[in-house]
C-alpha cells in the first residue's frame, strides 16, 4: 500500500516512448506503463532524449532550461512534454551533436548503428543520473530510477558511487541488445577506472552497457516470467546467464500489458470499421479493406494471415519466408508490414511478385497499417525464435485475430493453445507450436484453418481472445509492489 512515507517517486528512463518516438515494443511500454503507475498513485516522470524527430514534430514541447554541466561536453537543453493526452510529464534531454539529428534513434539511413551511439547514450545516462540526484535543479527528486534496456543501463553503475542515490530497477526488454563497444570507448567516456572489471562493465574485453544494469541495479526484471527463466540458460543468456543466475534472487518477470486507449477495436480511429465481441460480422469489413490495401483478390472466404514485425532474425522471419513457399494450393492470403534487415526486404518483395494473388508486402513503418492488419486478419503469425514478451500477440487477441505463436518467452506466457479441452472450457486464445521449424508452423496454421472452417467454434475462440485481460493495470500493480519492496529494503 502507498503511504505518505513510501510513495514511489519514479524517474522512468527510456530511449523511446510512444507517441513521441517509436521503433518497437519498448516505446509502447514506455508510453503506457508510466500512465498506469500514475493512476495507482505513483509520482512519475519520464526522461527521454530530445531526438530531432521529436523536436520537429507538432507535439507540444516547452523549453525548461539550458545548462553546461561538469563532465558533459557542450550545452544541455531540457524540454518538457506530456505522454499523449495524460498528465505524465516527460523530460526531454536535448544536445546538439548527440540527439538533434533526425531519423531512427539508433540507426542511420543505411540501417547501420550510428557510430557515436556509445557517446550518445553514455551522455544520456549521465544526465539521467544527475536528474536522479536532483542536480539539474528541476526541483524533484525520485526515490526510484526505473531504467530500461542498455541505453539507460549505465545509470545504476553511475549512481552506485553516490550514497544519497535513489534505488534502481533495471528492466531487460531484450537481452540480445547489450550495448557492446571496444575498451577504447570505455577509456574515452571518462568512466571511473574501477568500473573496468569483470565484476563491473567489462565483458570479454569489451565495454558492456547492459552489465551496468545487471550488476549494479537493486532489482532486475524482464517482461515475462518465462523469459526471466530463459535468460538464465546458455541458450538465451548470451554469456550473461551466470551473472543472471547469480542475481536470481533479485530477478523477476512482469508481463507487459496493452494500452486499451490505443489498441481497442471498439474505438480505434485507425481502422476502417470498429467492432466488438457483439458485432464480429463487422470485422469482415476490415478484411476487405486489407485486401484492397494489399491489392489481393477480394475473396470473402480467404484465410487471412497477418504479420507486423521488425524484420530481424529474432522474429523467425526466415521461417515465414520458407512457409510462404508452401501456401500456393491453399485458400490463404498473407499480408506483411515490416522493416529491418534489407535482405529480408528483398526476399519478401520477390515473394509477393511471384505470388501476387496470395502475398501482399509493405516494407516500411506505419502505425495505421499496423492497426488495420490487427483488425483485418484472421490469424497473426509470430514464429519468434525468442521473444521477451511480444506485444503483437496481445494486440491480436484484443482484435479477435487469433495468434499463432512459437512457445517461447512472453508468447508462451500469454497464449493458451486451442485444444479440445481449452476450447471446451473457454480458455483457448491461440495456436502454439513448440519447435521453431517450418513444419511446426505449418501444422499450427493448418490447425487454425481447420477450426476457421467451423464458424461456430471459431467465433467462440475469437471471443475468448478478445475477452482475455492484458490491461496494464495488473502489470503496473506488480511494478508498484516491486518499487515498494525496493524502498523497504536496506541494501
Residues from 393 through 422 that contact ligand GLC (CB under 6 A):
410
**Residue 476 in the binding site for ligand GLC (CB under 6 A):** no
Joined together, the cell numbers standing for residue 192 give 571511473
- Is there a contact between 325 and 352 (Cβ–Cβ < 8 Å)? no
Residue number of the CB atom closest to ligand ADP:
25
Nearer to ligand GLC, 129 or 172 (CB): 172
Segments of 4-101 assigned E as strands: 9-13, 43-49, 62-68, 75-82, 89-94
Q: Which is nearer to ligand ADP, 143 or 224 (CB)?
A: 224
Q: Which residue is nearest to ligand GLC (CB)?
A: 25
In the list 14, 273, 291, 309, the residue contacting ligand ADP (rule: CB under 6 A) is 309
177 binds ligand ADP (CB under 6 A): no
Residue 458's Cα: distance from chain center in Å?
A: 29
For residue 145, which phi and psi values (nearest 5 degrees)? -110, 125
Residue 46, all three cell numbers: 519520464
Q: Which CB sits closer to ligand GLC, 92 or 389? A: 389
* Contact pattern for ligand GLC over residues 9 through 28, marking x by CB under 6 A: ---------------xxx--
156/388 with CB nearer ligand GLC: 388
Residue 359 pairs in a beta bridge with 334
**Does 339 interact with ligand ADP (rule: CB under 6 A)?**
yes
Q: Which of residues 371-390 bind ligand ADP (CB under 6 A)?
A: 389-390
d(CA 228, CA 250): 11
77 contributes a contact to ligand ADP by CB under 6 A: no
Pick between residue 187 and residue 261 the one whose CB is nearest to ligand ADP. 261
Residue the block writes with cell 539529428:
101
- Residue from 392, 396, 465, 475 touching ligand ADP (CB under 6 A): that is 392
Angle between helices 367-376 and 283-293 (to 10 degrees): 130
Position 382 contacts ligand GLC (CB under 6 A)? no
24 near ligand ADP (CB under 6 A): yes
Write down the residue that cell numbers 575498451 correspond to.
Answer: 183
What is the closest distance, in whole angstroms, from the C-beta atom of residue 309 to ligand ADP in the complex?
Answer: 5
Find the farthest-apart pair of alpha carbons in the chain and give their distance in angstroms, rounded. Answer: 68
378: its cell numbers: 484472421
Give the count of alpha carbons within 13 A of 421, CB side only: 2
Which residues contact ligand ADP by CB under 6 A?
A: 24-25, 28, 308-310, 337-339, 365-367, 370, 389-392
Amino acid at each position: 500500500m502507498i503511504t505518505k512515507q513510501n510513495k514511489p517517486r519514479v524517474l522512468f528512463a527510456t530511449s523511446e516512448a510512444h507517441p513521441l518516438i517509436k521503433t518497437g515494443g519498448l516505446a509502447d511500454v514506455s508510453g503506457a506503463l508510466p500512465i498506469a503507475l500514475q493512476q495507482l498513485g505513483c509520482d512519475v516522470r519520464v526522461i527521454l532524449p530530445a531526438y530531432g524527430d521529436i523536436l520537429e514534430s507538432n507535439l507540444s514541447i516547452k523549453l525548461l532550461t539550458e545548462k553546461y554541466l561538469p563532465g558533459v561536453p557542450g550545452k544541455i537543453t531540457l524540454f518538457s512534454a506530456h505522454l499523449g493526452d495524460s498528465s505524465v510529464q516527460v523530460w526531454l534531454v536535448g544536445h546538439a551533436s548527440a540527439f538533434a539529428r533526425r531519423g531512427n534513434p539508433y540507426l542511420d539511413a543505411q540501417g547501420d548503428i550510428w557510430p557515436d551511439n556509445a557517446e550518445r547514450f553514455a551522455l544520456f545516462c549521465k544526465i539521467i543520473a544527475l536528474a536522479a540526484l536532483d542536480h539539474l535543479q528541476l526541483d524533484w527528486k525520485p526515490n526510484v530510477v526505473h531504467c530500461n534496456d542498455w541505453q539507460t543501463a549505465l545509470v545504476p553503475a553511475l549512481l552506485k558511487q553516490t550514497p544519497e542515490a535513489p534505488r534502481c530497477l533495471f528492466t531487460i526488454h531484450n537481452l540480445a541488445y547489450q550495448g557492446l563497444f571496444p575498451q577504447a570507448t570505455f577509456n574515452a567516456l571518462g568512466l571511473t577506472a574501477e568500473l573496468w572489471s569483470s565484476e563491473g562493465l567489462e565483458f570479454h574485453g569489451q565495454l558492456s552497457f547492459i552489465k551496468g544494469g545487471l550488476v549494479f541495479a537493486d532489482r532486475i526484471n524482464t517482461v515475462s516470467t518465462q523469459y526471466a527463466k530463459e535468460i538464465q540458460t546458455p541458450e538465451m543468456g548470451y554469456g550473461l546467464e551466470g551473472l543472471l543466475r547469480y542475481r536470481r534472487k533479485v530477478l523477476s518477470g512482469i508481463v507487459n500489458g496493452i494500452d486499451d486507449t490505443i489498441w481497442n477495436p471498439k474505438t480505434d480511429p485507425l481502422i476502417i470499421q470498429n467492432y466488438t465481441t457483439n458485432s464480429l460480422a463487422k470485422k469482415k469489413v476490415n478484411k476487405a479493406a486489407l485486401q484492397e490495401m494489399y491489392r489481393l483478390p477480394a475473396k470473402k472466404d480467404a484465410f487471412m494471415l497477418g504479420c507486423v514485425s521488425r524484420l530481424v532474425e529474432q522474429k523467425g522471419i526466415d521461417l515465414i519466408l520458407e512457409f510462404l513457399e508452401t501456401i500456393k494450393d491453399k485458400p490463404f492470403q498473407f499480408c506483411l508490414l515490416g522493416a529491418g534487415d534489407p535482405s529480408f526486404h528483398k526476399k519478401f518483395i520477390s515473394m509477393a511478385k511471384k505470388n501476387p494473388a496470395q502475398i501482399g508486402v509493405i516494407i516500411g513503418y506505419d502505425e495505421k497499417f499496423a492497426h488495420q492488419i490487427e483488425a483485418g486478419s484472421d490469424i497473426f503469425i509470430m514464429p519468434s525464435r525468442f521473444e521477451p514478451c511480444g506485444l503483437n500477440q496481445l494486440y491480436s487477441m484484443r482484435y479477435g485475430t487469433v495468434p499463432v505463436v512459437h512457445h517461447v518467452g512472453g508468447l508462451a506466457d500469454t497464449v493458451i493453445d486451442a485444444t479440445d479441452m481449452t476450447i471446451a472450457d473457454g480458455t483457448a486464445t491461440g495456436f502454439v507450436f513448440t519447435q521453431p521449424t517450418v513444419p511446426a508452423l505449418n501444422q499450427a496454421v493448418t490447425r487454425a484453418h481447420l477450426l476457421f472452417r467451423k464458424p461456430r467454434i471459431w467465433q467462440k475462440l475469437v471471443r475468448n481472445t478478445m475477452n482475455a485481460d492484458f490491461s496494464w493495470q495488473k502489470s503496473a500493480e506488480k511494478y508498484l509492489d516491486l518499487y515498494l519492496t525496493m524502498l523497504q529494503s536496506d541494501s
